[in-house]
Chains A and B, each alone.
Chain A
Amino acid sequence: MVHRTLDAVWRMESPRLVAALTRIVHDVGLAEDLTQDALEAALRQWPESGVPENPAAWLMGTAKHRAVDALRRRATLQRKAAAMGHDLALEEGKADELETAIDNAAIGDDLLRLVFICCHPILSIDARVALTLRLLGGLRTDEIARAFLASEATIAQRIVRAKRTLSEARVPFDVPQGADFDARLGSVLQVIYLVFNEGYTATSGDDWVRPALCEDALRLGRVLAGLVPEEAEVHGLVALMEIQASRIRARTDPATGAPIPLLEQQRGRWDQLLIVRGLAALERADAFPGPRGPYALQAAIAACHARARTADDTDWPRIVALYDALAELTPSPIVELNRAVAVAMADGPGAGLALVDAVAHEPSLKAYHLLPAVRGDLLAKLGRHDEAASELSRAASLTRNVRERNLLLDRARTEGGTAALE
């Protein structure tokens, strides 16, 4: 019973513990070590003394004491080093200052600082994701490894190196200011959405969705919205994730595990609670002045689908307009491809195909299975079944998701059969 409680409390509190300690010791790696120390102390003591009345406060107090000890040792080391003529930066008085109450109202700020440091641009995107999931998500190394289909050793190394990079670069434990803030926040949103997408559309292997990762990303997004409520794009991202997550149950055939495209999903299986929450978050984003940012735009597109009772009720012209706006803000071949799909629905497959062909030779789309998949779909609608079959086969060969591959091969066979009959 003690272990279950400790496990639950640990998951709830460890991000705040690490955040507070990082502010004290100025080093994320050391902060994590100290929080692990506190966990081990609880593991030893609570079975005997019982679970404390306020377990979170116990852990925080224990961790902070160890932090003070660590700094005192560092100060002693500093004195010894100074005596030997070395030059370290730490002020001697710091360890004593710590004994004075550390304002718990600052915890929110500390957590935000931790968010920014985990997503620091000096780290590779992989490192940012791993560090964020570890320190903010409370995921264990093996859980992160499983989520990203990497080995545990790879992820462990990645996290070690990330902490060392931050340490060596003496990255300050700060909330970025001014012009820097937007770019840094963008990095945070990117990391969270990357985690969400990893859960939402598995890129390889047999899983179509990994719901737990989506939940983790959603929680991180909601936490961020609480930390920086004045940022429209944070609400935009939360809105996007809530609405997309609402479709998770409908994306896969419960009997066969085969993927089901959006327009063919049973909308009764869409989670209305998440849709309501997503629409509310989008409203919050829209309450801010100025045009919608990319996440809010994508959320608005998702909202169009969410509001349509059936696929036929979809407001395609509105979706096209939203993609037009998105293409202007964040132009990319992938956005163009999505826009083409919407245009095809609004104005007919011919119009859509023209847009697809405009990006068909983009180098970045060369190995992207959705390009030939979309092209194949539009060709099929135009009655060009031979070409459709060929494109769908190509799409099947490019996707690493086994179930999706089977779906595409089936369609290719159907198109080929239709062509043969003509």
Chain B
Amino acid sequence: MRVVIFAKSTPETEHAEPRQAHQEGWEPMASFHEELVNAGVLLAAGKLQPSSKGARVRFDGANRTVIDGPFTEAKELVAGYWIWQVRSLDEAIEWLKRAPFPDGVELEIRPVEADDFDAAMTPEPRGHLEGLQAAAGRQP
């Protein structure tokens, strides 16, 4: 399954200068990224520019209203995104726990909707542990 992970904005990300690769704090994240790539988990990633660089389009009947950034509700904004391939939401959570984020950062994980067809073709896997507990003795 696929998940999208949103890193929520903070006042810092809203007013930040573009990060240089050599800046302190980048190493651990680069390392974490590499782990995700090497585990076959990372599909895509992007760091978003502050909302001051963005725009919104509002739909109302035939009308389209364009609103330029910045937008004020920092913690409802997105600062970055990841797209991961994982076996379960729990796996995504465990990976995300290992990310080297500083205090106060919050991220949201959302599974990407599968087509009805996908859901029908891949039955829910039983938890690994159910199987282990159910077995009277281990398989030799």
Contact = CB atoms under 8 A, between A and B. Distances in A.
Contacts of B140: 160
A4 B129 CA distance: 8
Contacts of A209: 121
B38 A8 contact: no
B90 interface: yes
Contact of A222 (B37, B95, B117, B131): B37
Nearest to A257: B117
B129 A273 contact: no
A407 interface: no
B85 A7 contact: no
Nearest to B87: A11
Given A140-B128, A160-B140, A7 B40 contact: no
Given A141-B139, A226-B37, A254 B129 contact: no
Contact of B39 (A10, A160, A223): A223
A36 B40 contact: no
A226 B38 CA distance: 5
Interface string B80-96: 00010101101101110
A41 interface: no
B73 interface: no
Contacts of B116: 254
Contacts of A36: 132, 138
A5 B90 CA distance: 6
Contact of B132 (A5, A39, A212): A39
Interface string A188-225: 00000000000000000001011110010011111100
A277 interface: yes
B118 interface: yes
B121 A207 contact: yes
A222 B118 CA distance: 22
Interface in B101-140: 115-118, 121-122, 125, 127-129, 131-133, 138-140
Centre residue among A36, A138, A215, A257 by max chain B CB count within 10 A: A215
Contacts, number: 90
Contact of A8 (B41, B91, B117): B91
Contacts of B122: 210-212
Centre residue among B87, B91, B125 by max chain A CB count within 10 A: B87
B44 interface: yes
Contacts of B40: 218-223, 226
Contacts of A207: 121
A140 B131 contact: yes
Contacts of A226: 37-40
A3 interface: yes
A43 B129 CA distance: 8
Interface string A1-28: 0011111111110000000000000000
Nearest to B95: A12
B43 interface: yes
A8 B85 contact: no
A7 B94 CA distance: 10
17 contacts: A7-B90, A8-B90, A33-B138, A36-B138, A39-B132, A55-B94, A140-B131, A143-B125, A156-B139, A207-B121, A210-B121, A211-B122, A223-B38, A226-B40, A249-B115, A273-B43, A273-B44
Q: Which 7 A-B pairs have the closest CB atoms?
A: A222-B40, A226-B38, A219-B40, A8-B90, A8-B91, A7-B128, A8-B94
Interface of B: 37-41, 43-44, 83, 85, 87-88, 90-91, 93-95, 115-118, 121-122, 125, 127-129, 131-133, 138-140
Interface of A: 3-12, 33, 36, 39-40, 43, 55, 138, 140-143, 156, 159-160, 207, 209-212, 215, 218-223, 226-227, 249, 252, 254, 257, 273, 277
